[in-house]
Chain A
Amino acid sequence: MSEDWDEKSHTGSLDRSAGDSSEGPSTVPEGVLELDPVYDALAHPRRRYLCYTLLSEDEQSVADIAEKIAAWEADVPAAAVTEERKERVSLSLYHTHIPKLVEHDVVTLDSDDEIISTAENTEQVLSALESVGATLDSAQESHAQSVGNDE
């Protein structure tokens, strides 16, 4: 048993004591080190929700997304979401979540600040979402893809 554990820890660990990072551990696939956009994009439920909406449509209005997120969080139909709730979600989208996703090229925001659309890294994020989504966030996913006909 202890031998098994030993083997695994060897194959999976980076040698942190290595002083010269220039060489780098050759065993780590390059792609693993480039997953920052994925992890950062998916680290917050509102960003995950936003990304889910891009699974069904390439373009979404920020107002629609804010309404859906507010409905999902309050567990009410979209029509029952108050303007205040919608605005609060919208502010967080405009001021933290969308800028973060734009920074990582996961979405783009149009010049009028109204419509978000897919970008270079969207596919990478969506495939990561799809692989975990079925088990972890399926309720969120199906809510995000429903188009307001939840009455």
Chain B
Amino acid sequence: MSHDDTPSAGDDEPVLAQRQYDPGAGGELATEVILAVAEAAGVDPAEIRTPPLYECIDTEAVESVFFTPGTRTGQATGFVEFSYDDHPVRISSDGWIEVFDTGPNTGEESSSSPSS
């Protein structure tokens, strides 16, 4: 796993799969992310074991920042982006999970990377 060339999802990269996470439905964000990744890859979700998503992102932390109504700090807006299985994945605070195609130019820095 490299950290220096993490693909960034530009607006021009096609979305391979998207799902909406509903924090009120009792499921977990991690489950929804894996279901989206599986859909993008066209495989059975149970076949996706490695790496554990936890090695790429702490979805509990994202839940506590974006999806915890009734708390002062649990309703931030924005998105987080990480790379899983060579696919850029974006979780937005409106609950949408998008899995992007890696794109033909993974080596190039996208000009639309989120400012840090």
Contact = CB atoms under 8 A, between A and B. Distances in A.
B26 interface: yes
Contacts of B26: 73
B35 A94 contact: no
B27 interface: yes
Nearest to B58: A96
A interface, how many residues as a size bin?
10 to 19
Secondary structure at chain A's binding surface: helix, strand, loop or mixed? helix
Given A73-B26, A95-B34, A96-B28, A87 B46 contact: yes
Interface of B: 26-28, 30-31, 33-35, 45-46, 49, 52-55, 58-60
Contacts, number: 45
A91 B35 contact: yes
A98 B52 contact: yes
B54 A87 contact: no
Contacts of A96: 28, 30, 52-54, 58-60
B54 A95 contact: yes
Contacts of B52: 94-96, 98-99
A100 interface: yes
B95 to A, nearest CB: 16
Contacts of A98: 52
